Copies of this chain bind each other. A is one copy, B any other.
Amino acid sequence: MPKISTKGLQMPASPIRKLTPFAEKAKSEGKTVYHLNIGQPDIETPEGMLNAIKSIDFKVWAYTQSEGTVQYRNKLAEYYQHHGYTISPTDILVTDGGSEALTIAISACIDHGEEVIVPEPFYANYNAFTCLSDVVIKPIQSYIETGFALPPISEFERMITPKTKAILICSPNNPTGYLYSKEELIELKELVIKHDLFLICDEAYREFCYDGKEFISPGHLEGLEDHYIMIDTVSKRYSACGARLGAMVTRNKEVFAAALKYAQARLAPPAVAQIAATAAIDTPQAYFDKVINEYTERRNLLVSTLNKIDGVYCPNPGGAFYAIVRLPIDDSDRFCEWILDKFSYENQTVMMAPATGFYSTPGAGRNEVRMAYVINQNDLKKALICLEKALLEYPGRIVSAKSEKASY
């Protein structure tokens, strides 16, 4: 039998989806499973976007331009300008989701064996996108104690080698919910200019900032025109994950030209999604106000409830809809499997993503899980009761975690 590739063999499975068989088994046994594992919001997609799908009037479902339709790129540039960026339609490459935007950005900027520095924990799928091109992730650990703030710039500087091509950040952060401050971004700006690196910023959660905090992007800072590459998506903004529509945005013409070649090779992004996303730009602010209010309430519920559970610690995320939560457990992979497979409370259980998959430092995240607060508050309450009960029963419970928590 022919052998598969070494990288195909070695690539870690997604921590977000790998426990799906256990969730399916639990459901087949009649259990209700609360999904906190995946960033699939229950929020309704804007009506204007769905109506645009229903109103298509073409006879031939044709390719669009490889870089995206003129209509959508014009509209999207308006959206960015409204959000304080200096971006024109020709800086925008429309992609098959944020995933492809990042894959293309990596291929355009980084050769195999070269390095990208990423604060960890980081979005687990970055591993796959770099693995595809044999690019090496160099992690810099951030810590739950500081709410996962940007690690000291000296740590980044220490990590830079002749092979370093880029720094990749995500703000508001998936999986931590941390929202980078303007001061942190200015520090990063000076660093990437000094060392001539790309600064790739995954901004999938731009809209979701809480407590009146303002979202700041490296794209808002002057002097980064050649360094800054934005990864964007409509998935979370409009609760349209199934659209598979993203964008890679850069004012660096060389990066854009190389990225366009990859985009031309895969022909075009999805056509109907572009029609819908063009309509979505006119979504009224009231839609976002309502959604942000809902996520804020969920976050408050999640964080306050978790911190009342013995041995559990959850920092207060400033954005996105995730939290990394420390649990009094021996091994998050084992715990997340156990809670689906062996546990139930009133015939319910919870699916979470083990945090180990969001770290590349061996051993890190073993007592942490990622939770996505994408289910309604009633279900969220029930899920957290399940978790509390499960922690009491779990054979791998570590009792010392409580005293650690007391030190914050």
Contact = CB atoms under 8 A, between A and B. Distances in A.
Contact of A132 (B9, B12, B54, B107): B107
B261 A13 contact: yes
A316 interface: no
Contacts of A238: 61
Contacts of A261: 8, 11-14, 128
Interface stretch (A93-101, A210-218, A324-332, A393-401): A93-101
A269 interface: yes
A196 B2 contact: yes
Interface stretch (A38-46, A73-81, A287-295, A340-348): A38-46
A158 to B, nearest CB: 20
Interface stretch (A241-249, A305-313, A378-386): A241-249
Interface string A250-271: 0010110011011011111111
Q: Tell me which of A40, A109, A125, A242 has the highest count of chain B C-beta atoms within 10 A of its own C-beta.
A: A242
Q: Tell me which of A44, A55, A128 has the highest count of chain B C-beta atoms within 10 A of its own C-beta.
A: A128
Contacts of A239: 60-61
A2 B42 contact: no
Contacts of A125: 264-267
Interface stretch (A62-70, A142-150, A365-373): A62-70
A6 interface: yes
A204 to B, nearest CB: 11
A87 interface: no
Given A5-B110, A63-B40, A242-B62, A132 B133 contact: yes
Interface string A15-46: 01110000000000000000000101111110
A82 interface: no
Contacts of A244: 96, 244, 267-271
A9 to B, nearest CB: 6
A61 B242 contact: yes
Nearest to A20: B65
B62 A267 contact: no
B264 A13 contact: yes
Nearest to A99: B266
A259 B264 CA distance: 23
Contact of A97 (B109, B110, B267): B267
Contacts of A267: 97, 99, 125, 241, 244
A56 interface: yes
A134 interface: yes
A28 to B, nearest CB: 14
Nearest to A13: B261
Contacts of A264: 13-14, 16-18, 125, 128
A61 B241 contact: yes
A53 interface: yes
A1 interface: yes
B242 A268 contact: yes
A276 B38 CA distance: 25
B56 A44 contact: no
A163 interface: no
Interface of A: 1-9, 11-14, 16-18, 38, 40-45, 49-50, 53-56, 58-64, 66, 96-97, 99-100, 103, 107-112, 114, 125, 127-129, 132-134, 165-166, 192, 196-198, 226-227, 238-244, 252, 254-255, 258-259, 261-262, 264-273, 276
What 9 A-B pairs are tightest by C-beta distance, nearest first? A242-B271, A128-B265, A8-B258, A99-B266, A14-B264, A61-B240, A125-B265, A8-B108, A63-B241
10 contacts: A6-B111, A7-B107, A12-B261, A17-B264, A42-B60, A53-B272, A61-B241, A112-B134, A125-B265, A242-B270
